Amino acid sequence: MATKKTKIVCTMGPACEDDEVLRKLIRCGMNVARFNFSHGTHESQRAMMERVRRISAELDIPVAIMLDTKGPEVRTGLLECGRTGRVTLEAGAEVVVTTDDDVLGTAERFSLDYKNLPRELEPGATILIDDGLIELTVIRIEGNDIHCRVINGGELGEHKGVNIPGVEVGLPSVTEQDRKDITFGCELGIDAIAASFIRSAAAVGEIRAILAEHGANHIKVFPKIESVLGVTNFDEILAASDGIMVARGDLGVEVPPAQVPHLQKMIISKCNDAYKTVITATQMLNSMIENPRPTRAEITDVANAIYDGTDCVMLSGETASGKYPVEAVKTMADICIETEKYLPERTVYRERGGLKNVNGSTGYAAVFMAEQVDAKAILCPTHTGRTARLISEYRSQLPVYATSPSEQAIRDCCFFWGVEAHLTVEQGSLQSTIYHSLQVAKELGLVETGDIVVITAGDPQTSPRMGDYSTSTNMALIAQVQ
């Protein structure tokens, strides 16, 4: 039976609160559970995280947990018609947008929750509301009132997201609420953070400092690229990060939507070159929120992200609030399996420089050796998962099995393309580690007696060192299963 190599991130929500639905999602191919901290309470998030951990353990299928921060947001205020009501903004009409928070919104006047906005805008600026469905142009500014012309009308609701393309809003990249949420996530043992609206490497550093305060340096940080500044400063952000999320929703509001396909390819390519995880997100199977089958365009979108080189594809509303969460995961897994049949292997070595590339060189050698001897699989005993990540970057069609005594390393591998991870017990020597990985693979039915495999390993006595940096994997060897 074919298994997918691309990893699937599923957003948690009301549609998957039932234990049986969650079991089906995991069995169908969910590798990462995403928790969107723009919604819900700490109590509800805690209950769902504990449910994911429990069912993952019951099924003996590893699932990583990723906390998605709320980030710096500007949102619409309260309306006169209430939370469930809507105000119709007509194209061509003039409307006053105010930062006075005691205003109950109408079609003539409504509020936003960012006090400094009038001082950061100029006439001619564009205000986009609700993912760009409503577009306003600033005419003039008087005190706290921003007079606007409605360019594209629509139904205005409470607490809808607001974007101002081309304007660097003065909100901090990491808000006080983000700090509280990250601290909460550390207490619950999350595996990764998807950091919203990151605009610089300094913001990544802020998050890492929070993690360090709580002894949680192992938690991976994946900035979400969803603004012009995020694109402009992408190289420095990538260098400071463990990976990147291509957050196409807000990105397609902040920049012209026609630029998003190119930016997606650029971001994925640079992440691949840096051997860092990349997640492609937003509206991948969006129609399946309401329908049991996706559009052909959505199928093509998922496939093209895989062809581009993404490690993970993500479902948002499809699994959080959609009518067909299980079908969405099944469909995405089917697309992954079919597309992966036609992926070219990356056989061209990319120079990464000096001793810092020992792990990468060993990973490349392992893939090359496995191809030359027609190996059944590549085995990767690991304590950190780093070498498994490097091997995955070459997109070998061979199975890559990581074995580790570290549950954290096993969950980290949930983000790595083509890596299947299995928990083992700690071994006392290099030789016993190699032998044990072979035995585990055989017991699990991954390999059989007589199969040729390639194994990566690390000898701490001979691993090169450069300053404070030491490599962990410096060997690749060919073995036969006994």
Catalytic residue positions, numbered? 34, 75, 224, 282
Contact 22, 16 (CB under 8 A): yes
How far from 69 is each of 10, 37, 267, CA to CA, in Å?
15, 5, 21
- Give the strand order in the sheet containing 161-163: 74-75, 161-163, 126-129, 134-142, 145-152, 94-98, 109-111
Give the helix ranges, DSSP H, for 29-158: 42-59, 117-120
Contact 191, 31 (CB under 8 A): no
Cα–Cα distance for residue pair 458/456, rounded to 1 Å: 7
DSSP, collapsed to helix, strand or coil, labels residue 5 as coil
Sign of the alpha-carbon dihedral angle for 128, 134, 136, 141: negative
**Residue (of 288, 374, 274) closest to 323 by Cα position:** 288
Residue 126 token pair: 């564009």
Residue 164 token pair: 């101002």
For 247, which DSSP code?
E
Residue 415, H or E segment: none
Report the 10 Å Cβ neighbour count for 465. 10
- Cβ within 8 Å of residue 273, ≥6 positions away: 350
DSSP, collapsed to helix, strand or coil, labels residue 195 as strand
DSSP, collapsed to helix, strand or coil, labels residue 71 as coil
DSSP, collapsed to helix, strand or coil, labels residue 430 as helix
HSE of 51, CA atoms in CB hemisphere, 13 A:
21
Residue 307 token pair: 């062809």
Give the helix ranges, DSSP H, for 60-108: none
Amino acid letter for position 470: S
End-to-end Cα, the chain, rounded Å: 25
